[in-house]
Structure 1
Amino acid sequence: MVRVADLEKGNYWRHLGMSTIVGADGITRVQLTVSDELLQFYGNLHGGVIASILDSAIAIAVNQQLDPEEGATTVELKINYLRAISEGTLWGEGKVIKKGRNLVVAQGEIKNDTGEILAIGTATFMVKQMTR
């Protein structure tokens, strides 16, 4: 099983500047501070970065539901961008809706420091048996 610490060690996570924080409520969230390098032409955070935070937050929730011999990969991601983002710290959180033998359906949201919801999404992950 992939652990949260393993996800964080990935080059892509480091490239974007994503990290995880375990809240007082025990929920693991993805954190990202907006930087100039992540803004698109119009000065807003690139939609791909928002998608990455959301996918990563949902992946954390999914991975916490897997058996030790299982892994999972995203096969579908649907996002609603609710507000333009140009600064601040973002928090992504995911939750599993249904885990089946082969597929997991989950949802997530991204909020800013004031708790305003900036994007929401749903994802489907394929469960795979890990081979060593």
Structure 2
Amino acid sequence: MHGGAIFSLVDIAMGLACSSVHGFDQRSVTIECKINYVRGVSEGEVLCIAKVLHAGRRTLVVEAEVVQGDKLVAKAQGTFAVI
């Protein structure tokens, strides 16, 4: 799986995590995002788990992990603005 596809998965999952906190009627946009790729992805499924670390009135800090089975593939952290 291409690193850009993994990044897109992470960004979408973190955005949905923001919506789960502030409600799906409010939008959020990525201000900043950092990702560490730990290993390549072999054939098969991956799972992305995103968690809000801090939810302020205007910004949120979110982290996400991408795993394949029990192996960590990538870890990311991002800051999102509520608009």
Instruction: Tell me if TM exceeds 0.5.
Output: yes
In the other structure, the counterpart of 1:118 is 73
Amino acid at match of 1:57: A
In the other structure, the counterpart of 2:44 is 88
- The one of 29, 46, 52 equivalent to 1:73 is 29
How many residue pairs get matched?
A: 83
Amino acid at match of 1:96: V
Structure 2, gaps ≥5 residues long? none
Could you list the structure 1 runs, at least 4 aligned residues long, displaced by more than 4 angstroms after superposition: none
Measure, in 1, the Cα distance between the counterparts of 2:36 and 2:25.
33
Alignment deviations for residues 92-115 of structure 1 (CA, whole Å, 9 cap, x no partner): 010000011111000000011x22
User: How much has 1:69 moved relative to structure 2?
Assistant: 4.7
Identify the structure with bigger relative contact order (alpha carbons < 8 Å, sequence gap 6+).
2
Secondary structure at 1:65 match in 2: helix
* Closer/same/farther in 2, CA of residues 103 and 88 from structure 1, 3 Å limit: same
Alignment deviations for residues 54-86 of structure 1 (CA, whole Å, 9 cap, x no partner): 111111211100146521011111000000113
Percent of paired sites with the same residue: 34
Measure, in 1, the Cα distance between the counterparts of 2:48 and 2:57.
26
In the other structure, the counterpart of 1:34 is none
Secondary structure at 1:84 match in 2: coil
Amino acid at match of 2:73: L
| Root-mean-square deviation (Å) | 1.3
Structure 1, gaps ≥5 residues long? 1-44
In the other structure, the counterpart of 1:106 is 62
Measure, in 1, the Cα distance between the counterparts of 2:43 and 2:31.
30
In the other structure, the counterpart of 1:55 is 11
Which of 1 and 2 has greater Rg?
Answer: 1
